Amino acid sequence: MTNSILRDAAPVHAGRTSAARRTGVDWMLVVAIAAVAGTFVRAMLFTPVEARQGPAQKIFYVHAPSAWVAFLAFGLVAVAGLLYLWLRDLRLDRIAESSAEVGLAFTTIVLTTGPLWGKPVWGTWWTWDARLTLTLFLWFIYAGYLVLRGAVEDRAQRARYAAVLGALGALLIPFIHLSVYLFRTLHPQPIVMKPSAPSLPGEMLTTLLLAFASFTLLYVALLRARYRLATIRDERDDAVAAEDAG
Amino acid sequence: MPDNGAYYHAAYVAAGTILIGYALSVWWRLRAARRSPGSGAPGERG
């Protein structure tokens, strides 16, 4: 995935024309949005309603894949940040920055859809239990990560500070996943990402797996687009700095 | 079966709005960056 992202930035340097640049349309993003829309339609119209929770259970097909993508995104922030500290390659910093922003968008979906599911099922919008509170902390850490990036002028210093914060923030991810086992909580235990087989009927499991796939595709498409933006911005800053120096 | 369809409709609308809104924000910033001077992408300007 990283190679694909880096390769995608190459036309900016080389000035080559690609289909995306000729038409101005990012076809991967279009396909990914269509895939997510298709998943929404399948979940709403062609997936059975769970008898005990009622239609509100269908929030699951948005909530759980968004959480998966958020964890994947922040995991990549940590890996790219640590690799940056080792290799000092600013492309890795741009990957981390891009992944953090996309991950924050998906975490916002988790924190929005969760209360909308909790109210009809638990009888409350929010409770300060371990999983919910840690997820809120995760959102604040990566919101702070983006604020930090905006506050430091020097590119290398910004990349170094951000790499450390990004890696430390990702330490929360395993705690969030395991919090339902470690603490007393209203939040249900995983029904797919667990050691034993998934405990879902076939049609529901198919919809959920399609949701995981389409959300992951959308994450990759958004990451590519956001990485391209960071590359163009850095090149523009370099050109302005060179002009000022000359 | 409980009648709570409004919650799930609201959740899908919220998720769709956040995703489309974020995708549009990236697309808009990318377009602006490509059009700005010194972007290194002359074919995209104007």
| Chain A CB within 8 Å of residue B41 CB | yes
Contact at CB, B5 and A56, closer than 8 angstroms: yes
**Interfacial A residues in 79-138 facing B (CB < 8 Å):** 102, 105, 108-109, 112-113, 116-117, 119-120
Q: Tell if the CB–CB gap between B1 and A51 is shorter than 8 Å.
A: yes
- CA–CA dist A83, A228 (Å, integer): 20
Q: What 3-state class would DSSP assign to A54?
A: strand
User: What pLDDT is recorded for position A20?
Assistant: 57
With an 8 Å Cβ cutoff, are A218 and B43 in contact?
Answer: no
Q: Do B44 and A21 touch (CB under 8 A)?
A: yes
Looking at CA atoms only, how far is residue B24 from chain A in angstroms? 10
Residues β-bridged to residue A54: A50
- Residue B43 confidence (pLDDT) above 70: no
**CA torsion, points A180, A186, A188, A193, in degrees to nearest 10?**
-30
What is the token pair recorded at A145? Answer: 């990560």
Q: How far is the CA of A108 from the CAs of A54, A128, A137, A155, in angstroms? A: 24, 17, 12, 28
Are B24 and B32 in contact, with CB atoms under 8 Å apart? Answer: no
Give the pair of three-digit tokens for residue B23. 């995708």
* Interface residue B4 vs chain A (CB under 8 A): yes
Q: Which helix (H) or strand (E) holds A100?
A: helix A90-122
User: Which residue, A97, A73, A82, A74, is CA-closest to A155?
Assistant: A97
pLDDT at A12: 43
Helix, strand, or coil here: A50? strand
pLDDT of residue A213: 98
How many CB atoms neighbour CB A136 within 10 A? 16
- Token couple for B27: 């697309």
Contact B15 A109 (CB under 8 A): yes
- CB within 8 Å: A62 and B38: no
User: Which of A12, A119, A240 is facing B41, going by the closest CB pair?
Assistant: A12
Contacts B10 to A, Cβ<8 Å: 116
Rounded Cα distance, A202 and A61, in Å:
14
CB A64 within 8 A of CB A109: no
Query: Cα–Cα distance between A167 and A173 in angstroms, integer?
Result: 11
Residue in A37, A40, A54 nearest the CB of B4:
A54
Contact A15, B43 (CB under 8 A): yes
pLDDT for A185: 80
**Element spanning A78, H or E:** helix A60-87
Predicted pLDDT of residue A239: 87
The residue with tokens 């080389």 is A14
pLDDT tens for the 246 residues of chain A, in order: 445 444 444 444 444 445 555 556 789 999 999 999 999 999 999 999 998 999 999 999 999 999 999 999 999 999 999 999 999 999 999 999 999 999 999 999 999 999 999 999 999 999 998 999 999 999 999 999 999 999 999 999 999 999 999 999 999 999 999 988 888 888 877 776 667 777 788 899 999 999 999 999 999 999 999 999 999 999 988 888 888 887
Interface of A with B in 33-62 (CB under 8 A): 33, 36-37, 40, 43-44, 49, 51, 53-59, 62
Give the pLDDT confidence score for residue A218 in this predicted structure.
98
Rounded Cα–Cα distance for residues A148 and A52 (Å): 45
ipTM of model: 0.87
Say whether pLDDT at B33 is over 50. Answer: yes
